[in-house]
Amino acid sequence: MGGGHFFSTPAIDARYEQLSGGAVNRIVLYLARRRLGITPTEWNALPWYEQRMYIEGFIEEGFLKRADDEDVEEGDPNVDPVTASDAELRRMGLTVIEGG
């Protein structure tokens, strides 16, 4: 999977968006796996208030940032977060952690 090039068609992209829950959900699931060691199934089984608690912790630790914390220009909704540049990730309302 080197280089970040994935086979994709509009139908595959639409299905991926539907199944994954969108860019924000994918990023949260990635952080849950990376930082908490839990799978997407385990994350989805958590009550909403526990998910919120962990998301607030991610924000507090600087892994995520609320989009309303500063003036963030609206990003392109079609940008793929897997291949997005640091600037595009910031426009999505995320904080890019250098060397993390």
What tokens appear for 84 in the block? 């997005």
User: Contact, 14 vs 80, CB < 8 A?
Assistant: no
Mean pLDDT, residues 81-100 taken together: 67
* Tens digits of residue pLDDT in 21-36: 888 888 899 999 999 9
Instruction: Kindly report the pTM of this predicted structure.
Output: 0.58
> What is the maximum span of the chain, computed from C-alpha positions, in angstroms?
37
Residue range 41-57: mean pLDDT, rounded: 91
For the record, the structure tokens of 50 come out as 């526990």
